[in-house]
Amino acid sequence: MDLNFTREEIAFRDEVRQFFKDNVPPATRQKLQEGRHLSKDEMVTWWRILNKKGWGVSHWPKEYGGTGWTSVQHFIFNEELQMAPAPQPLAFGVSMVGPVIYTFGNEEQKKKYLPRIATVEDWWCQGFSEPGSGSDLASLKTKAERKGDKWIVNGQKTWTTLAQHADMIFCLCRTDPTAKKQSGISFILIDMKSKGITVRPIQTIDGGHEVNEVFFDDVEVPLENLVGEENKGWDYAKFLLGNERTGIARVGVSKERIRRIKELAGKIESGGKPVLQGQKFREKLAAVEIELKALELTQLRVVADEGKHGKGKPNPASSVLKIKGSEIQQATTELLMEVIGPFAAPYDEHGDEGSNESMDWTAQIAPSYFNNRKVSIYGGSNEIQRNIITKAVLGL
Amino acid sequence: MDFDLTEEQRLLKESVDGLLENSYDFDSRKKYAKENGGWSKTVWSKLAEQGLLGLPFSEEDGGFGAGAVETMIVMEALGRALVLEPYLATVVLCGGFLRRGGSAAQKAAHIPGIIDGSKTFAFAQLEKNSRYDLADVATTAKKKGDGWIIDGEKFVVLNGETADTFIVTARTKGGQRDRNGVGVFLVPANAKGVSKKGYPTQDGLHAADVTFTGVEVGADAAIGDPENALPLIEQVVDDARIALCAEAVGAMDESLKTTGEYIKTRKQFGVPIGSFQVLQHRAADMFVALEQARSMAMFATMASDFDKADERANAVAAAKVQIGKSGKFVGQQAIQLHGGIGMTMEAKIGHYFKRLTMIENTFGDADYHLARVSDGPGLV
């Protein structure tokens, strides 16, 4: 047992760290540090820098542009990326639909879509959740019916993250209404410019616009846009959701936020001395740091396990990563709120537009706190994670 | 980066698990508890036979030169079986003083007796007002000729009832809480002026309050620098904290397993109570607490050999906080999920809870260590 990185791993970490230091555009870095939203241009610009370096789709198989890194290297890369901080690759393309296409798609689909995911010529979004299908995803109703050489898609998706920027959406659609819940679903790729698609923004409690409703009204989709077999979409969805188990802890994001808490709490005064010198505050912060350290090691245990035994059998500890990771992210935004105190109040109505002329950075602290309530809800709510733990660990 | 055990460590784990499986079920434990001093000489001999008492000592001292990972493996197993024998007191604590700070003569005089199981030791440190502060020592060691005269009162000395030898912290100079001026002394339990009152502790172990009245020891009784042994004490107590973290993980792991089994079989309203989501989620939270604790116990184990004492102390303190929080949660909820039966002496689960509770109050509780971490350089 040795919890230290090897000399090679440390060299790799230094290389990655230096690259981020030299190449993340300063305005992008600053916006992320301040918890502000990035414009589409800012994100795409960074992803293309990353892709040019060969790190855009790092965990893909080498033949499709991946790096062939070990699981520990992937861990280091992600953590350094989050701490830089720099935008993470667009999960919907890189971590979700990409692996589904190279695992279950045909050669034409691989050739057509994979390169465009890497270069972000296609911005992908995810069409899974529906108004009536949240945690009970398999109850989804959006349907795709065969008509000649086309699918006709009707229905509604929701919580579609950044659909306002998207070129493509991958959807779970019901293709056999007579089959039982999970078995009549197919995985279909749809062009967002198709006639009959309407995107309507949802404003979240932080005032931001990340998520949308997407309506499908007799949308025509070529038959060849079906991935894998008809009515097997649920299997692909499960594969997809299981693929990014370890990144969800977002340890690097929390580390970076703790640094920021210390920086701000060292400047902002309470009772004539920095907030950071208050014993009660220090202990609250230390408690979060301890949980984060434990989480980082739990994550490394899962990563090491994956490296040894492959991703086939999910380690039940991965659900710990989601639960604790989200709790810690929320705790850090809560501490930032505490640091800033009464100055959390001013609301910047234009803060979400990606402009560089928005109000003082302080205006983003409360929205970031509000926004982070989502992390224990998305990606399989923490309650769903507890169901998973119960089944896997206790065999109940 | 590697979380796996080596082949030798795996074999060690199998052997200690196997030994305890055969000789330490809950009924046997009850019998051992009734033997002299509250633990079994037979089991102790078996631990010696399998080499477990000699693990951390160097090969030239007759041991196996094993490291912190091996101690973690053993302590986790002892935690699982709720072992009563004085491994922590004898091997980890007093063995730690001898191997880390002892002179060649002291090692030769005492380590063989530990390894072959013929002698046990006790660490006499806690005082009426010292609480968790290791520098707070009112017991005195005054120079007399070449030797020392020790006076003072020590409390809750684990294995103090049956130990052959005490290792005692005593002040050679300075004020009661000064970092300088604390020494560590070997004192035979039968030395003139040593008196003790033994008793069982809440978790079924045994301890004693020990009074030293004008106890004369030789110059060779001092381990390390008699005027500046606090760094040694801090290191050895950190060893003990690390060992306690591992023991607690063993106890938590077994508590969760036992609880999982119980809620799968206990029926109410015609169904196993484990089918109720409210209990399932509580068990899932216990798993989360356990895994976080396991990670930090590993972190602390790795820290045991850190070169810088303050980094080691910071990591161990952080681990003890996590273990304290997790141990309390897992212990309390294990009782809750068992319901009434969990309240009885008859059921094993309550004994895990009691051991976890006592571990929390040994060498600093979560609040104490949280304050230390909050004054330190941070962990990020």
H/E stretch holding A126 reads strand A124-127
Pick A124-231's CATH classification: 3.40.50.300, 3.40.50.720, 2.40.110.10, 1.10.287.70: 2.40.110.10
Amino acid sitting at position A354: G
Q: Which of B176, B89, B100, B93 is nearest to B135 (CA)?
A: B176
Q: Do A300 and B284 touch (CB under 8 A)?
A: no
pLDDT (0 to 100) of residue A123: 98
Question: Would you call A29 exposed, middle or buried from its count of C-beta atoms within 10 A (0-12, 13-18, 19+)?
Answer: middle
Question: Would you call B265 exposed, middle or buried from its count of C-beta atoms within 10 A (0-12, 13-18, 19+)?
Answer: exposed
Contacts of residue A376, defined as CB under 8 A and 6 or more positions apart, other chains included, come to: A323, A326, A327, A330, A382
Q: Which of A68, A95, A83, A70 is nearest to A304 (CA)?
A: A70
Digit-coded pLDDT (tens) for B241-286: 999 999 999 999 999 999 999 999 999 999 999 999 999 999 999 9
3-state secondary structure of B134: coil
3-state secondary structure of A151: strand
The answer to whether A41 faces chain B, any CB pair under 8 Å, is no
Q: Which of A56, A34, A32 is nearest to A44 (CA)?
A: A56
Q: What is the pTM of this model?
A: 0.94
Domain B122-227 has CATH 3.40.640.10: no
- Angle, helices B349-360/B230-265, rounded to nearest 10 degrees: 160
Q: Which of A252, A228, A250 is nearest to A239 (CA)?
A: A228
Q: Do A389 and B2 touch (CB under 8 A)?
A: no
* Cβ count near B175 (within 10 Å): 11
Q: Which of B9, B75, B7, B72 is nearest to B47 (CA)?
A: B75
pLDDT (0 to 100) of residue A353: 56
Distance of alpha carbon B17 from alpha carbon A83, whole angstroms: 42
Residue of chain B with shortest Cα separation from A257: B380
Distance of alpha carbon B129 from alpha carbon B133, whole angstroms: 9
Task: Tell the CATH topology of B7-119.
Answer: Butyryl-Coa Dehydrogenase, subunit A; domain 1 (1.10.540)
Digit-coded pLDDT (tens) for A315-332: 778 889 999 999 999 999
The answer to whether A53 faces chain B, any CB pair under 8 Å, is no
Task: Tell the CATH topology of A245-394.
Answer: Butyryl-CoA Dehydrogenase, subunit A; domain 3 (1.20.140)
3-state secondary structure of A210: coil
> Which two three-digit tokens encode residue A155?
């229905």
Mutate to test the interface with B, among A284, A293, A309, A388 (most CBs of B within 10 A): A293
- Tally the C-alpha atoms within 13 A of residue A339's C-alpha that lie toward its C-beta: 28
pLDDT (0 to 100) of residue A297: 95
The C-alpha of A317 sits at a distance from chain B's nearest C-alpha, in angstroms, of 7
> Which two three-digit tokens encode residue A303?
């990563």
> Which two three-digit tokens encode residue A279?
């014993």
* Cβ count near B286 (within 10 Å): 26
Beta strands at B206-217 and B194-200: parallel, antiparallel or unpaired:
antiparallel
> Which two three-digit tokens encode residue B264?
């799968």
Contacts of residue B291, defined as CB under 8 A and 6 or more positions apart, other chains included, come to: A298, A317, A320
Q: Do A4 and B1 touch (CB under 8 A)?
A: yes
Task: Outline where DSSP puts E strands in B172-277.
Answer: 182-188, 194-200, 206-217, 267-268, 271-272
Task: Outline where DSSP puts E strands in B116-243.
Answer: 121-124, 140-144, 147-158, 165-171, 182-188, 194-200, 206-217
pLDDT (0 to 100) of residue A245: 62
Residues of B with CB below 8 A from A300's CB? Answer: 1, 3
pLDDT (0 to 100) of residue A314: 67
Size of interface A-B (CB pairs under 8 A): 139
Q: How far apart are the first and last CA of chain A?
A: 32
Distance of alpha carbon A40 from alpha carbon A209, whole angstroms: 13
Q: Do B263 and A396 touch (CB under 8 A)?
A: yes
Residues of A with CB below 8 A from B266's CB? Answer: none
Residues of B with CB below 8 A from A289's CB? Answer: 318, 373, 378-380
Beta carbons of B338 and B109 less than 8 angstroms apart: no
Q: Which of B117, B66, B121, B77 is nearest to B95 (CA)?
A: B121
Q: What is the CATH number of domain B231-375?
A: 1.20.140.10
Distance of alpha carbon B217 from alpha carbon A303, whole angstroms: 55
Q: How far is CA B204 from CA A269, A365, B29, in A?
A: 50, 51, 10
Task: Tell the CATH topology of A7-89.
Answer: Butyryl-Coa Dehydrogenase, subunit A; domain 1 (1.10.540)
3-state secondary structure of A4: coil
Q: DSSP letters along B77-89, please?
A: HHHHHT--S-HII
Q: Do B284 and A285 touch (CB under 8 A)?
A: no
Q: Chain-centre distance of CA A207, in angstroms?
A: 20
Active site residues of A: 244
Residue of chain B with shortest Cα separation from A322: B288
| Residue range(s) occupied by CATH 2.40.110.10 in chain A | 124-231
Domain ranges of chain B: 7-119, 122-227, 231-375
3-state secondary structure of B216: strand
Residues of A with CB below 8 A from B277's CB? Answer: 387
Beta carbons of B80 and B254 less than 8 angstroms apart: yes
The answer to whether A327 faces chain B, any CB pair under 8 Å, is no
The C-alpha of B116 sits at a distance from chain A's nearest C-alpha, in angstroms, of 28
pLDDT (0 to 100) of residue A348: 80
Residues of A with CB below 8 A from B294's CB? Answer: 298
Residue A115: which pLDDT band, with cuts at 50, 70 and 90? very high
> For every one of its 380 residues, what pLDDT tens digit does chain B have, with 9 covering 90 and above?
788 899 999 999 999 999 999 999 999 999 999 999 999 999 999 999 999 999 999 999 999 999 999 999 999 999 999 999 999 999 999 999 999 999 999 999 999 999 999 999 999 999 999 999 999 999 999 999 999 999 999 999 999 999 999 999 999 999 999 999 999 999 999 999 999 999 999 999 999 999 999 999 999 999 999 999 999 999 999 999 999 999 999 999 999 999 999 999 999 999 999 999 999 999 999 999 999 999 999 999 999 989 899 999 999 999 999 999 999 999 999 999 999 999 999 999 999 999 999 999 999 999 999 999 999 999 98
> Which two three-digit tokens encode residue B303?
């820290």
Q: Do A294 and B260 touch (CB under 8 A)?
A: no
* Nearest by CB: B370 against A1, A286, A295: A286
Residue identified by tokens 């989501």 is B277
| Residue range(s) occupied by CATH 1.10.540.10 in chain A | 7-89
Q: Do A316 and B375 touch (CB under 8 A)?
A: no
The answer to whether A31 faces chain B, any CB pair under 8 Å, is no
pLDDT (0 to 100) of residue A99: 96
